[in-house]
Structure 1
Amino acid sequence: MACDKISYSQTSWFINTALKGRYELNLPEGDFARSDFYPTDATENIGIYWALPNIQAFHSIVPVSIMEFYPKVGVKRDVSSKPNEDYFALRALLSVKWLFIAENVQEQSPMPGFKLYNNQIGYNVYENENFIPFGFAYDYFITKEDVDNHSTDNRSNLMLRAVSLEDEAINRNNDILTHLPEEMNYYLGEDEYFADAADRRSMSSYEFKTDNRGFTCRIKLDKERLVFFSVPYDKGWSAKVNGKPALIEKANIGFMAVRVPAGDSEIRFDYIAPGLVVGLCGAGAGIAILAVYLFVFYKVTGKRRKKLNSAIAVDMPQEKEYKIIDSETDISQANIMPNKIPQQPTEVIPVDIDEEQKGGE
């Protein structure tokens, strides 16, 4: 369970809202989407308690690419993610659909484009009218220099208009993308935000599903395009488009994108932790070496044990035979009556076999 750093004054609220809320929350099925909470510093990790993908979390274990992205767009990222309400375009870029605001909070309209959906578990639930499903395409690209030329307040707006790519990725994809014209680098207000979100939504996926290995997306495009996913970039990811391996481009500072042909396509991403395969191979090789070693060890020691037993058997002195005789019976007579059962008290006398044979002669 996630541990929230906030000390809740009312235990009943923590039990009834944070813990039980996961089973009482009722959102429509369909789109896989992220959620958001406001105020950003009052309800950390509620989304984790409720099993909701969200952008507000006190969590120190994140991909390195997240640490690259957030500072680039002006959001502080140390041990938590808390983008404030000024970055409204960031919500569309990261596919945020739901906004939760406690009903006792006075400010109920912190960002443009959110419409009241209903009230649940003491929260007003708002739906983002500018929601863009996971997996959407672009017409334009921008360079890192283009991004740096804008203030941090406007960079997420700019990335909603054009995808940011590194130089090598630009060279690989400039046949399907156009460099954003200079005049389109400006005018990044609310109205432009609504228009850019609508453009991205018109080129978005119609199905997105996750599982314990990765995710699958289906999208229908009018022509070949670069499809962006706001999933943190990591070397452990591999992708296939319509069953064929696809190159993953690092896009918008810390996320991923792949080329997808025109028509209806299936995109599949799978994740394997870097080093896992090498580690398993190393472990398997170690087990094999140990098995060979144990086999040879027991073979060699087994042969040595047999030789040692043989040597001990040769060097051992002759055994002495013990016979039961009557105290009044002569030893020489006992030699010819080995099976006689005495009727009187007996005693056991050791007899050397060689001497006994000589006496018999």
Structure 2
Amino acid sequence: MAEDPLPRLDPVQAIAYFKSKGWEIGFDWQDIWQEEHARAFTVAKAMSRDLLEDIRAEVDRAISDGTTLQQFSKALTPKLQARGWWGKALMDDPASGETKVVQLGSPARLRTIYETNLRTSYAAGKWQRIQRAKRTLPYLRYICMMDGRERPEHHSWHGTLLLIDNPWWDTHYTPCGWGCRCDTQQVNERMMARRGWTVTEPRRFPERDYVNKRTGEVTKLERGIDPGWAYNVGKAPLDGLTPAPRLGKGSYDDGALQAMLSDASFGRLRGFFTAFGLDTREAATAGKVWNDAAGWPVPIAAGLLRGADGQIVSISDTAARELTDAAKVLLDPKSIGWVWIKGDDGRAMLVRRYRSDAGVVDMGGSFWRWHFGSARGLTAGHVIWYANAT
């Protein structure tokens, strides 16, 4: 059977997008969730940096040089087999400690890795071009591959035509799932008039609560969108990847910071951001991917101080000073570990815990927090890095 054609990659934006990604090691595809994929390259159960580097190098070559799936598989298969990452194997799940029979490398997995990375890189690069041309081409049209193999919901979305800034594109910008072959077309009113097109109503299907069993995170998932794909791959900057702060009682004051950092508000938080080399308000807003002592990529940006409503939270002078100490813990921990904690609603959530003599900082998928003083009751969890390790 003939392969589905991949979108033509933009030779600049798509390559730049992929090369900007950090690294994340995850046992299960749900460990790295939605927007996290926009800033981190990961392959489920590829549990070493060397293995990820082999796979990433071939994906990079495919995007940069136009390598076909056959060339990609031919180059990568013997490398993975030499590392023992092929076929079925027994592996310990680091989250539960359970030993499981898992599928490692296979022709089907290589195809998924190849197509997913190329399609998302193309889509992310295209979104940058869409934004640059938005003043003259302000509309976006959903295009489905109408060959009888498309999802019925994607078939229904075909021809949906909305302004680029319509929030529908936050969850429906393609691809919308594994193997999704849909695309978008950017147009203006003159092009629409010539083709007889008009702006449509955004078509939506019923939603359900989807529970990520790995992290405990609950998200609303519309029918027709696969779990983990309800986001805009091109609209996921570092700011959007940062978890919201979880502040204790009494941490707020009356001096609200602006939604976008002003020079004055940046001044109060300067100690935190400059510790990571973000020396200006503009740099803090743009953010950066910082790799911790164990090599885990963490997005550092103004979004770390942004609440669920999109506003920079109001922080007391004490909390602002503690942020500088939190940066020191992140940059110079004595240990890093994974810890399961229980949220206020009873959900179990996985956090990455940084410990030092000064205090503890937890980084979770949807929130982060810091604690100074006695760490009694705050366990180290499953420690994966020690400062004195050789």
TM-score interval, normalised by the smaller of the two chains: under 0.3
Work out which of the two has the higher radius of gyration on C-alpha atoms and give 1 or 2.
1
TM-score by length of 1: 0.25
TM-score by length of 2: 0.24
Q: Which has the higher strand share?
A: 1
